[in-house]
Amino acid sequence: MTTIQQLGTPTALIDTQRMQRNIQRMQARMTALGMSFRPHVKTTKSLPVVQEQIAAGAQGITVSTLKEAEQFFEAGVTDILYAVGMVPSKLPQALGLRQRGCDLKIVTDNAAAAREICNFGSAHGEVFEVWIEIDTDGHRSGIKPEDDSLLEVARVLQDAGMQMGGVMTHAGSSYDCDNHAALLAISELERAGAVRAAQRLREADLPCPVVSIGSTPTALTAEHLEGVTEVRAGVYVFFDLVMHNVGVCTTDDIALSVLTTVIGHQTEKGWAIVDAGWMAMSRDRGTQKQKHDFGFGQVCTEDGKVLEGYTLSGANQEHGILSHAGEPDRSIVERFPIGTRLRILPNHACATGAQHPEYQAVLPDGNTETWPRFYGW
Amino acid sequence: MTTIQQLGTPTALIDTQRMQRNIQRMQARMTALGMSFRPHVKTTKSLPVVQEQIAAGAQGITVSTLKEAEQFFEAGVTDILYAVGMVPSKLPQALGLRQRGCDLKIVTDNAAAAREICNFGSAHGEVFEVWIEIDTDGHRSGIKPEDDSLLEVARVLQDAGMQMGGVMTHAGSSYDCDNHAALLAISELERAGAVRAAQRLREADLPCPVVSIGSTPTALTAEHLEGVTEVRAGVYVFFDLVMHNVGVCTTDDIALSVLTTVIGHQTEKGWAIVDAGWMAMSRDRGTQKQKHDFGFGQVCTEDGKVLEGYTLSGANQEHGILSHAGEPDRSIVERFPIGTRLRILPNHACATGAQHPEYQAVLPDGNTETWPRFYGW
């Protein structure tokens, strides 16, 4: 039995009670909206977390790499969407997964890649299930709902006998919102764009069983999801300071933090130096352009109470600079003596988690448990 | 035998010829200046790289975590400086290393931690070798050369019978320079500050055998290092775009890159989408405030030729957005068709390397070799 007080620093902590609350909140919402829910596991890459999401009602998972697909398939998850555009060089690995019984769905947004998928599938006697990526908000990949190439790509797949799984979109620009009205607007843009793409396919006698949308902000905002069949979201399981600024959680919902120790001070500057630098927090400065800039993270006590105004204002590889906004705190040495242990809430849970080989899950009884995570490709 | 063309993407590549040139350049400089050289291995955390640095003449290594000390000690390196301020909770691990024969030197910059080191050392019959950290440029940790606490800390250590190893400083603000005159000034500030601290200790009859300074920019700039005994530097072994902007390397010196594949386009925006997002590049935007902002990295051909004006202008977890500065490149699809393989030079080699479980070292004959790296604490 290990408690937080016995852990070395820096360490990534999961508050499992907050995590459970976040999982239940999202799943209850999806159930009420009549949606299948397919969590994006790139946030945690950790089996114990994903098992809780599935136990709560998730149907299948979303992955960002084929390594995630391999790892979760080996652990018994079979319904997997690889949500990054397929390229020829990755088809052999996708084929291998399907041949071993994984119900892997792949994604494309262009005719060139679609043709490669068809040629490779035909050559290997494999009917790939392919979803077409739709661009509903202009932030990254996908075909615009009204674009001619939507029907072209679908026909390439259909003519070669591939399985048309449906359409999927991700309104990543929802991360730029900071009020409910803006979130509602982007949620409707995401829903309507995906539904319109599906409608165009169906009107052209092309099958489109699945209409998949999602991001944490839109999933938690949409008032109805008419025409949609499933939702995907990832970071909601931990939340973070970016999501706090977007307006879909409070700091009390953030389930991931980094445990750290005070190792020094610069008294006249009001700095405490801690052993959580960017290697522990990540270089993510996602709150930099938001309404509240938290530097490299919000400082809390060891037991998780937010210390208002104290942030990691700077970070080197293994050094963090802790300071108070505004006037330097001249009593920084007395407030945070050498050896003081603190928790830091992260800007971006996906990026911070990725810096750690494992999480320490803090259980309701106060004991901690090691939850491994994996990385690489 | 594997060549670059056979590697999956994204993958971290080391151009071993460039790496060797970088190692030889630094070592030749150190030898000419009469300095011991103690490379900082936090950049690579990879044994084959460090073995090359030692073969070229390095004497001992610098580490940023005790895990690095453990790993390199197990691999046969005994002379190790742990260059992050010691705290009580880490003393048992430091003791364990010393008891197993590791010549581990630890660092402090305050009397509170010094007393804890002394109490712990005395209680366990261990004479720790302690170096005092000096703040020569105000960027982070350390005692100012003229500060009273310098002598206080030294006396605490001396009175308890610890071994006074010397003084060490790191002028990290040299990363903010962008011209030779500024680099010369900061180099002299670093040298003079460390030498002055040593002088004050010696004048007070306190021993100070080692005077250790260093950062890649100052190590490559200083015209003389009178009074200094050793130099530390890390990122020089790979260099990166931040160092290019500082002015101590060219893009042709950068030995680390990320191999990536084009997975899609947004034609009207002039974007190609690649499979190197921030998970492969890191979230480091170190060139953002420098004279040339390279976004998330400089785009090169698969064989390493710089494609002027093309950068990763955006990055999500597993998606990078490749675009040309200024007007959108309307022929982006023809220039970089689906499946095109490219290399991306990183802003910050330490941060980019940390995202990868291993490097693929490209040998002079064109074959590649897996060089593992480790992470975590």
One digit per residue, the tens of pLDDT, for chain A of length 377 reads 899 999 999 999 999 999 999 999 999 999 999 999 999 999 999 999 999 999 999 999 999 999 999 999 999 999 999 999 999 999 999 999 999 999 999 999 999 999 999 999 999 999 999 999 999 999 999 999 999 999 999 999 999 999 999 999 999 999 999 999 999 999 999 999 999 999 999 999 999 999 999 999 999 999 999 999 999 999 999 999 999 999 999 999 999 999 999 999 999 999 999 999 999 999 999 999 999 999 999 999 999 999 999 999 999 999 999 999 999 999 999 999 999 999 999 999 999 999 999 999 999 999 999 999 999 99
Give residue B268's region: left, alpha or beta (phi > 0; psi -120 to 50). alpha
CB contact under 8 A, A278 and B9: no
What confidence score (pLDDT) does residue A102 get?
Answer: 98
Residues 230-259 of A with CB under 8 A from B: none
Contact (CB, 8 A) for B196 and B189: no
Mean residue pLDDT of chain B comes to: 98
Q: Is A86 on the interface with B (CB under 8 A)?
A: yes
User: How confident is the model over B24-79, as pLDDT tens digits?
Assistant: 999 999 999 999 999 999 999 999 999 999 999 999 999 999 999 999 999 999 99
- Domain coordinates in residue numbering, chain A: 17-237, 251-372
Distances in Å between the Cα of B362 and the Cα atoms of A377, B161, B255, B300, B345 are: 19, 49, 10, 16, 15
Contact (CB, 8 A) for A289 and A246: no
Distances in Å between the Cα of B86 and the Cα atoms of A308, B121, B211 are: 28, 13, 19
Q: Which of A110, A338, A357 sits opposite B113 (nearest CB)?
A: A338
Greatest C-alpha distance within chain A: 73
CA distance B269 to chain A (A): 10
Tokens of A22: 């976040």
Q: Is domain A17-237 classified as CATH 3.40.50.720?
A: no
3-class SS of residue B315:
strand
Q: Is A356 on the interface with B (CB under 8 A)?
A: yes
What confidence score (pLDDT) does residue B15 get?
Answer: 98
Q: Is domain B17-238 classified as CATH 3.20.20.10?
A: yes
- Give the residue among A217, A225, A219 at the shortest CA–CA distance from A33: A225
Among chain A residues, CA nearest to B85: A263
Q: Is B291 on the interface with A (CB under 8 A)?
A: no
Classify burial at A306, counting beta carbons within 10 Å of its beta carbon; exposed 0-12, middle 13-18, buried 19 or more: middle
Q: Which of B64, B109, B141 sits opposite A317 (nearest CB)?
A: B64
Classify burial at A187, counting beta carbons within 10 Å of its beta carbon; exposed 0-12, middle 13-18, buried 19 or more: buried
3-class SS of residue A81:
strand
CB contact under 8 A, B88 and A339: yes
3-class SS of residue A83:
coil
Does the pLDDT of residue B330 top 90, yes or no? Answer: yes
What confidence score (pLDDT) does residue A68 get?
Answer: 98
Q: How many other CB atoms are found less than 10 A from the CB of residue A177?
A: 22
CB contact under 8 A, B273 and A317: no
Q: Is B8 on the interface with A (CB under 8 A)?
A: yes
What confidence score (pLDDT) does residue A190 get?
Answer: 98
Judge if A17-237 and A251-372 fold alike in CATH terms.
Answer: no
Q: Band of the pLDDT at B1, cuts 50, 70, 90?
A: confident
What confidence score (pLDDT) does residue A252 get?
Answer: 98
| B314 contact residues in A (CB cutoff 8 A) | 140
Among chain B residues, CA nearest to A269: B138
Among chain A residues, CA nearest to B269: A138
Residues 42-61 of B with CB under 8 A from A: 42
- Give the residue among B303, B305, B344, B302 at the shortest CA–CA distance from B323: B344
Phi, psi of B92 (to 5 degrees): -60, -40
CA distance B288 to chain A (A): 12
- Give the residue among B85, B83, B140, B82 at the shortest CA–CA distance from B110: B85
CB contact under 8 A, B87 and A262: yes
Residues 155-174 of B with CB under 8 A from A: 172
Residue with tokens 């999501």: A243
Question: How large a percentage of chain B has pLDDT more than 70?
Answer: 100
Q: Which of A88, A318, A357 sits opposite B339 (nearest CB)?
A: A88
Q: Tell me which H or E stretch contains A334.
A: helix A332-335
Q: What is the CA radius of gyration of chain A?
A: 22
pTM of the model: 0.97
CB contact under 8 A, B86 and A263: yes
Q: Is B360 on the interface with A (CB under 8 A)?
A: no
CB contact under 8 A, A356 and B339: no
Instruction: Determine the topology of domain B251-372 in CATH.
Output: Lyase, Ornithine Decarboxylase; Chain A, domain 1 (2.40.37)
Q: How far apart are CA B164 and CA A346, in angstroms?
A: 38
CB contact under 8 A, B261 and A87: yes
CB contact under 8 A, B273 and A113: no
Q: How far apart are CA A142 and CA A283, in angstroms?
A: 28
Contact (CB, 8 A) for A173 and A183: no
Q: Is B92 on the interface with A (CB under 8 A)?
A: no
Q: Which of B85, B358, B376 sits opposite A356 (nearest CB)?
A: B376
Q: Where are the beta strands (DSSP E) in B85-188?
A: 103-108, 129-134, 163-169
Phi, psi of B308 (to 5 degrees): -50, 130
Q: Tell me which H or E stretch contains A352.
A: helix A349-353
| B141 contact residues in A (CB cutoff 8 A) | 263-264, 266, 273, 319
CA distance A64 to chain B (A): 7
CB contact under 8 A, B377 and A9: yes
3-class SS of residue A289:
coil
Contact (CB, 8 A) for B194 and B169: yes
Among positive and negative, which fits the CA dihedral B44, B50, B53, B59? positive
